[in-house]
Chain A
């Protein structure tokens, strides 16, 4: 594969060498877990809210990553599934459903809708999915406004649920954070297992060459439909988490701009990367916030600039930063003229690829 900037290799293949050592990984995971668990006890209420939102949007970005990063099908409609999930949750909460039922419905309803759309859209090659999905948020907004007895119309729905139980002794925002965190971690682990197994490899081959996939007995159609459905399910879950954090949903939630921002967050975090999805969630919340502090009317311009700069300089997203830096350093050490052959390896089978390429790198030195 010579197209370095086009085919995003998974994060696993890009992480630096010391990351291969087991104790480093365990230590890092423990450290991150400690920070994540301790964070709400030491932060202001607004900061806790923001971290909650990062987790919620990380799930949405991960969902988009499954269809787009791993599956190679551009989708511009993730916000529609997020909004649908949020509306279903709000409907369930206002009608006094059990919270588990609300959660299941918030995941399953968007998944079924996504499945139906994918059944039609995945038959088409090329950018058709992008063009079908771009219509979802655009049609979704007038639909949400129209059925105002269910959706509350333009004003949206305000709900109040997920109060902290007495026994925890936590403030409500802290409790909500822990709930969102637990669901997010569970969904990330699920996606990791899902994408490392048969499914991930099948998707990679469908993305890279449909004819080869077909020849190997992997049906591109079925896997595209599956990936899109899972992606919609993750969008719905993110919608539930969003409602937990914000307690409010309006047609703006499923606006086209939200879709575009989720897509930008995914590309900037790292396409076809679990860690990149997490970074994408952080980016989604943090950067507009920081840009808004500087100058609110320029927030959109800044995110456009960041997106384009990333695409030019770091096509693998932020997760590929360590690898890109290493390559840069090596090139400087080697002097001009020598080129690294260990550019992005084939996207599937990331683990062994990383080891193999790091060996070649050592030999080259």
Chain B
């Protein structure tokens, strides 16, 4: 039982990281109908920026906040300068553009901060507390709590503010939104900025665990994609639930099924994603889209 609780909490914590990145993917998808394959490398870049702030002597939390704000600006900038040009065209080309961004940003991180592993200081103490006999790391609990907080804030933003209403209007019906005077372009920038900021939070939370390298989030990105698909690409709640589910499921499968072990547990979410796509292409929480020709 203790082992179960421990594995489950660990899974929830990694699932929270997937959730942040999956949320970012969903935000971008809702705003621009794109899958941003550069989401992970953008987040890594932000984490490196936070790392640079820490090295220049800022306290960890302040460095992370600065990096998150910077990421927001950077995400908006990327949307305006790079992505805007390819919007409305074929999605395939736009996706290749995000792949190009992925290569560029990973290369840039490597060029500036080298490909060596860096140690990123943890926001939370390394001690663990005892919950029902199981040792649960404070870092894991902290990650989960921060994720829930961020999601709550996001939900508030989307449901209770005028800005959130405008964002939802743009993602739902861009033409009507434009006709009612909403600056669509600016909303898209905000959507991308929010996504980049979410990624930065995720990167900073996971960096102490994984060590900071330019390819740190490549695997996490795939998990996040799986979560976003499982949840149905347009549902933020679905993405988060799916991400937690994936985190816990892979951890339990890795812990209890000897054949899977630690190295093959990445195959678990992939198999799940594959199954879901085949059986229920709109995702567990998504709505089926009917297109009229």
Asked whether, in the complex, the Cβ of A146 is within 8 Å of the Cβ of B263, the reply is yes
Return the contact of B110 from the options A124, A132, A297 (Cβ within 8 A).
Answer: A297
Asked whether, in the complex, the Cβ of B107 is within 8 Å of the Cβ of A300, the reply is yes
Q: Which of B224-242 contact A (CB under 8 A)?
A: 225-226, 229
B109 to chain A, nearest CB (A): 9
Asked whether, in the complex, the Cβ of B92 is within 8 Å of the Cβ of A68, the reply is yes
SS class of chain B's interface: helix, strand, loop or mixed?
Answer: helix
Asked whether, in the complex, the Cβ of A135 is within 8 Å of the Cβ of B97, the reply is no
Q: Which of B141-149, B245-253, B274-282 contacts A (4 or more CB under 8 A)?
A: B274-282
Q: Which of B77-105 contact A (CB under 8 A)?
A: 82, 85-86, 89-93, 95-97, 99-105
Asked whether, in the complex, the Cβ of A308 is within 8 Å of the Cβ of B100, the reply is yes
A309 to chain B, nearest CB (A): 9
Residue A94 is within 8 A (CB to CB) of chain B in the complex: no
Residue A121 is within 8 A (CB to CB) of chain B in the complex: yes
- Chain B residue nearest to A267 in the complex (CB): B96
Residue A126 is within 8 A (CB to CB) of chain B in the complex: yes
- Chain A residue nearest to B282 in the complex (CB): A124
Residue B69 is within 8 A (CB to CB) of chain A in the complex: no
Return the contact of B35 from the options A130, A305, A307, A315 (Cβ within 8 A).
Answer: A130
Interface mask (A118-142 → B, CB under 8 Å = 1, otherwise 0): 0011011111101110110011001
Residue A161 is within 8 A (CB to CB) of chain B in the complex: no
Residue A15 is within 8 A (CB to CB) of chain B in the complex: no
B164 to chain A, nearest CB (A): 26
Given the interface contacts A145-B263, A311-B100, does A300 sit within 8 Å of B90 by beta carbon?
Answer: no
Interface mask (B206-225 → A, CB under 8 Å = 1, otherwise 0): 00000000110011001001
Q: What is the bound-complex CA distance between A282 and B293, given in angstroms?
A: 42
Residue B155 is within 8 A (CB to CB) of chain A in the complex: no
Asked whether, in the complex, the Cβ of B267 is within 8 Å of the Cβ of A312, the reply is no
Given the interface contacts A264-B103, A300-B107, does A131 sit within 8 Å of B229 by beta carbon?
Answer: yes
Known: A139-B267, A260-B102, A311-B100. 9 other contacts (CB 8 A): A73-B92, A126-B91, A127-B35, A134-B37, A139-B266, A300-B106, A301-B108, A304-B103, A304-B107
A-B contact pairs, 30 of them (CB 8 A): A74-B92, A76-B99, A120-B277, A120-B278, A123-B277, A123-B278, A124-B281, A127-B95, A131-B225, A131-B273, A135-B222, A138-B218, A138-B219, A138-B266, A139-B266, A142-B263, A145-B263, A260-B102, A264-B99, A264-B100, A264-B103, A297-B114, A300-B106, A301-B111, A304-B103, A304-B105, A307-B96, A307-B100, A311-B97, A311-B100
B residues within 8 Å of A by Cβ? 35, 37, 82, 85-86, 89-93, 95-97, 99-108, 110-111, 114-115, 214-215, 218-219, 222, 225-226, 229, 263-264, 266-267, 270, 273-274, 277-278, 281, 293
